[in-house]
Amino acid sequence: MRELPPTWQVCRLGDVFDYGAARKAEPIEIPPSAWVLELEDIEKDTSKVLQRITFAERRSKSTKNCFSAGDILYGKLRPYLNKVVLADEDGFCTTEIVPLSSSPWVDNRYLFHWLKHPAFLDYVSAVSHGLNMPRLGTEAGRAAPLVIAPYAEQKRIADKLDAVLARVDACRERLDRVPAIIKRFRQSVLAAATSGALTEDWRGENPLPDGCSEREVAEYLELRGRRQGTQRKFKDPVAPDLTNWHLDAPASWSVQSISAYAECLDHLRVPVTRSERSKAKGLYPYYGANGQVDIVDEYIFDDDLVLVTEDETFYGREKPIAYRVSGRCWVNNHAHVLLAGDSDRADYLCFCLMYYNVLPWLTGTTGRAKLTQGVLNTLPIAVPPQKEIVEIVRRVENLFAYADRLEARYKTAREQVERLTPALLAKAFRGELVTQDPNDEPASVLLERLRGHRVETPPDRRRRKGSEVSSR
């Protein structure tokens, strides 16, 4: 840290607080209505309490630490998560949370902000013990550095930080709404694209005869049929399952099944040998249910394709994962492989699969639902004429590019906001955030008075406040 103001002092946390000396309470001592705080209830970095659960609701059977309103609750388990709370009411907490009782010589809000300071976080990260579940031990906690300002200045710093960081939190909360807005925007674009609303004005300027899409689909199927028996054999298309279909397509469009719009290449998968996989590893991208991964598995393709989730990833979601790939690639058996004829048709198919809620067509429980090849082939799709498909793809790509730019700006703004809190804390504990008053009693005098008090007061009396909590 930089040189501190002359009225400030650096000491150890244990010189001021009895770190780790909290009063314990057994489950039988805890009232049913008491607040019981666990580490999972605290959001990392923000100090936000995500939920308040009573002892009756939690039904905990372990020993707890007692705390009082005004105490600082410091999460010593995995301290790099920066879970620090200023208690606003009495309660009990896991022993992985260390209560620090208020002191007449240190403003607890000031200490709360210091425990979130980058220098303090660096210290606890360095001295925590334990590989998988590191903790800040009692002795290391007592030896932790603590920067003390004059008491009056502590209050001014705490007041200023409370006000400024509240604005930072409000900014963060507003920014955190942006991803959901962008997601809704993209879904609205897809809804308009696959229903005809996106190109309604285009159809007015470029009228197409009713049923022209039906003729184009018939021509596509005829062309596909002529390829059978030469390069590869494709399955005949099936009728669309319109049981859950509620879209009124424009008159020039037609409603088809996926199998009439695109060819499913799943049956062309030919497993390769381990030797072949070893030779090809790293040469081509490899895809699975959730997109590109880094392990070569089995089946190889070379075309302009749409890949769509087969199973495992429907839990908690209505829509499959669909994405575009071009060129030579490996695809495992957790993704269906669709060939739609040309790039624009493939793009439009991908837009439809990204938007449609396919759950009504699936069987089995939602958590284990599977989009089988048979179900995929019967999914209905509203097919525009080819000229309109090209226009839809152009408009969607432009709107998605706009959404991508918004998302990039959001990420930049979010990164800037995340840098604000550490920067403000660093400035505050260098003595640069508020004006210093030469009439303030120096921190050295405060510490001398504190040392005298700690010599005169036995540890059990200093912990009496925690004892009072469990008796309430």
- Torsion, Cα 148 149 151 154, to 10 degrees, reads -100
Look at the chain and count its residues. Answer: 472
pLDDT in tens, 261-315: 998 888 776 666 666 666 655 566 666 555 544 444 445 677 888 888 766 455 4
CA distance 365 to 442: 68
Residue reference for tokens 């060819």: 263
Question: What phi, psi does 388 have (nearest 5°)?
Answer: -75, -35
pLDDT tens across 131-172, in order?
889 999 999 999 999 999 999 999 999 999 999 999 999 999
**Residues 286, 302: Cα–Cα separation, whole Å:** 12
Q: What are phi and psi of 75, to 5 degrees?
A: -80, 110
pLDDT in tens, 414-448: 999 999 999 999 999 999 999 999 999 999 999 98
pLDDT digits (tens, 9 = 90+) for 230-275: 555 567 788 998 888 888 889 999 999 999 999 888 877 666 666 6
Print burial letters for 15-28: b (CB count within 10 Å at least 16), e (below 16).
ebbbbbbbbebeee
What CATH number does the domain located at 9-150+441-470 have?
Answer: 3.90.220.20
Two domains, one topology: 9-150+441-470 and 209-384: yes
Beta bridge partners of 433: none
CB atoms within 10 A of CB 353: 27
Burial class of 201 by CB neighbour count within 10 A (0 to 12, 13 to 18, 19+): exposed
Is the pLDDT score of 320 beyond 70?
no
pLDDT digits (tens, 9 = 90+) for 332-351: 777 889 999 899 999 999 99
- The secondary structure of residue 442, as a DSSP letter, is P
Lowest mean pLDDT across 45-59, 95-109, 214-228: 214-228
More confident residue, 327 or 332: 327
Q: Where are the domains of the chain?
A: 9-150+441-470, 209-384
Distance CA 217, CA 256 (A): 9
Binned at pLDDT 50, 70 and 90, residue 466 comes out as very low
Higher per-residue confidence, 184 vs 304: 184
pTM over 0.75: yes
CB atoms within 10 A of CB 130: 11
Backbone angles phi, psi at 44, to 5 degrees: -65, 145
- The residue type at 58: R
Q: Output the pLDDT for position 297.
A: 47
Give a three-class secondary structure readout of 378-391. HCEEEECCHHHHHH
Residue 361 neighbours by CB under 8 Å, 6+ apart: 241, 243, 244, 375, 378, 379
Listed range (157-171, 382-396, 402-416, 437-451) with the worst mean pLDDT:
437-451
Indicate the CATH number for domain 209-384: 3.90.220.20
Please report the pLDDT score of residue 470 as a whole number.
45
Report the pLDDT value the prediction gives residue 296, as an integer from 0 to 100. Answer: 45
C-beta separation of 145 from 123 below 8 A: yes
Task: Please give the mean pLDDT across all residues of the chain.
Answer: 85
Whether 97 and 75 have beta carbons less than 8 Å apart is answered as yes
What percent of the chain clears pLDDT 90, i.e. is strictly above it? 57
Contacts of 206 (CB under 8 A, 6+ apart): 387, 388
Q: What is the pLDDT of residue 293?
A: 44
